């Protein structure tokens, strides 16, 4: 048996909520099923309204207690202990991520768990070295004034994280929230609850006061997620997930005028110019379309290739896509895992059918792979490339969130920029060209929160991240996270 499969056998079989420093269970639970072979991995506590209320109130008590009085240096040290705790249990976290999602082991090691550690360490460094604004000025009457800015904790922050990058995106929010002195009630996706439970254990061992971090498991509408967003003692909500859910949360918190930060859906585009480094562009699109079986919010689903290299590009991407190996993450050499669940697989398969109905040419894929073993009980689909659809087709305008891309030719720079921007989403894009001026020029015209030139998914955690249009609201990362998770106050002092 694979090393990580053995570790997965030892993961908790009962996943409980974590409230006020203790793991608590409730009478109701639901099964977490493996997307690889369909077997039951664990039973997960379904938090009821009373458990959600207890978690929020524990967070409020902790906020009003010793945590609020900690210095930035003390909070930074706490974050470093959490990072060290994840590192000490590195392989256990990898096993949890792989078991819950079916992602390749190499990805869980190099990206998911490594980034979780970096999230805590980065915000520990940022909060311990942060500086503020200070201005000297004079009033109309000649009075000398000193204005300086302080950041105070918001209070209790509700963190709702998705299933696609469970640990990475949960810690991306928890780390800065704690760094700025807030307390947290976190709700991970019901599809990927295990690594969040391990994180609660690490945070408890790191010695944070009871109630600073709380974890509730459960579903969304009329369940833990909705009860959390509607709780009157929540001061802010940060959410990553579907645009429709973000809209629902925004309505729920509107009456309380609460701070929100949303990273939502995307229908991300890539532009490949004829002068691009051809092999680098093909490999970049392969990676950006099919990493994590296309289940990354920044994955590319729309590819625009300059007409003179279009046929060659499609042929080469087809060959490299067919070389991907779909299957169990515990089998060496497999590159591509399953959809998170059979329900999500059914959604992706509905787009496979729709694409054909809309007139697409299926270049490769478009079906369910067959293995002849337990993986046939999993949630796998084939990596799929389409051509031949108009820009108005649903498969070109709606987010699939699976291993798919549609490739279309273009003739002129202005034309392709207009086509890329003709979307209700605006999360990410990539531009592939060896012409430096064109790379800068095109990137500045694209209406998304992040644009890569000759790269994809390269991240500096100090830079802003977020989307435009239906892809989100607000920015997180570096100083932008510190601003969101703080109440910023200007203090004006008369000095004469």
Tell me which residues are annotated as active site: 263
Give the number of other CB atoms < 10 A from CB of residue 207.
Answer: 10
How far the first Cα of the chain sits from its last, in Å, is 76
Residue pointed to by tokens 């459960």? 218
- Between CA 350 and CA 354, with CA 351 as vertex, the angle to 5 degrees is 90
Distance from C-alpha of 49 to C-alpha of 127, rounded to nearest angstrom? 34
CA 198 distance to own-chain centroid: 18
Closest by Cα among 399, 433, 409 to 301: 399
- From residue 300, give the alpha-carbon distance in Å to each of 180, 283, 297, 348, 372: 34, 12, 9, 15, 31
237 forms bridges with which residues in the sheet? 158, 260
Distance from C-alpha of 4 to C-alpha of 329, rounded to nearest angstrom? 9
Distance from C-alpha of 201 to C-alpha of 40, rounded to nearest angstrom? 22
- From residue 342, give the alpha-carbon distance in Å to each of 81, 101, 296, 368: 38, 12, 17, 12
Residue pointed to by tokens 């892809």? 471
CA 340 distance to own-chain centroid: 14
In terms of Cβ atoms closer than 10 Å to its own Cβ (0-12, 13-18, 19+), residue 317 is: buried
Closest by Cα among 261, 276, 302, 337 to 428: 302
Distance from C-alpha of 387 to C-alpha of 364, rounded to nearest angstrom? 10
Q: Running DSSP on this structure, what letter comes out for residue 296? A: S
- From residue 227, give the alpha-carbon distance in Å to each of 33, 52, 126, 220, 443: 25, 7, 32, 8, 41
> 3-class SS at 135?
strand
* Crossing angle for the helix pair 436-445 and 413-421, to the nearest 10 degrees: 30
């Amino acid at each position: 048996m694979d090393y990580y499969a053995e570790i997965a056998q030892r993961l908790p079989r009962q996943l409980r909520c974590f409230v006020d420093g203790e793991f608590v269970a409730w009478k109701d639970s639901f099964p977490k099923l493996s997307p690889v072979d369909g077997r039951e991995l664990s039973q997960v506590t379904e938090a009821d309204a009373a458990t959600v209320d207890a978690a929020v109130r524990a967070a409020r008590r902790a906020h009003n207690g010793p945590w609020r009085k900690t210095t930035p240096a003390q909070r930074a040290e706490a974050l470093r202990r959490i990072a060290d705790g994840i590192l000490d249990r590195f392989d256990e976290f990898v096993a949890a991520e792989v078991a819950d999602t079916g992602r390749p082991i190499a990805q869980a090691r190099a990206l998911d768990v490594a980034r979780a550690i970096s999230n805590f360490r980065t915000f520990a460094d940022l909060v311990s070295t942060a500086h503020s604004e200070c201005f000297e000025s004079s009033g109309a009457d000649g009075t000398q004034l000193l204005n300086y800015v302080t950041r105070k904790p918001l209070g209790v922050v509700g963190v709702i994280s998705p299933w696609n990058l469970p640990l990475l995106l949960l810690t991306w929010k928890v780390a800065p929230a704690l760094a700025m002195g807030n307390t947290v009630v976190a709700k991970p996706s019901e599809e990927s609850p295990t690594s969040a439970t391990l994180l609660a254990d690490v945070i408890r061992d790191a010695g944070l006061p009871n109630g600073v971090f709380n974890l509730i498991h459960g579903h969304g509408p009329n369940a833990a997620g909705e009860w959390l967003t509607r709780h009157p003692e929540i001061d802010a909500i940060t959410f990553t997930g579907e645009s429709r859910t973000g809209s629902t949360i925004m309505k729920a918190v509107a009456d309380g005028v609460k701070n929100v930060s949303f990273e939502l859906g995307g229908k991300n585009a890539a532009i490949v110019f004829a002068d691009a480094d051809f092999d680098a562009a093909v490999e970049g699109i392969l990676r950006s379309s099919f990493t994590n079986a296309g289940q990354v919010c920044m994955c590319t689903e729309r590819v625009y290739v300059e007409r003179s290299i279009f046929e060659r590009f499609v042929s080469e991407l087809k060959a490299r896509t067919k070389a991907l190996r779909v299957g169990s993450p515990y089998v060496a050499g497999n590159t591509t895992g399953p959809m998170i669940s059979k329900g999500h697989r059914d959604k992706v398969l509905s787009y496979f059918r729709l694409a054909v109905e809309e007139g697409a040419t299926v270049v490769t894929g478009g079906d369910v792979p067959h293995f002849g073993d337990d993986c046939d009980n999993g949630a796998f689909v084939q990596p799929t490339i389409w051509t031949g659809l108009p820009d108005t087709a649903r498969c070109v305008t709606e987010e699939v969130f699976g291993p798919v891309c549609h490739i279309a030719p273009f003739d002129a720079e202005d034309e392709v920029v207009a086509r890329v921007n003709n979307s209700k989403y605006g999360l990410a894009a990539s531009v592939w060209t060896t012409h430096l001026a064109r790379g800068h020029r095109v990137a500045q015209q694209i209406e998304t929160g992040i644009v890569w030139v000759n790269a994809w998914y390269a991240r500096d955690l100090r830079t802003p991240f977020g989307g435009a249009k239906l892809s989100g609201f607000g920015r997180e990362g570096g100083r932008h996270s510190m601003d969101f998770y703080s109440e910023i106050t200007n203090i004006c002092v008369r000095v004469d």
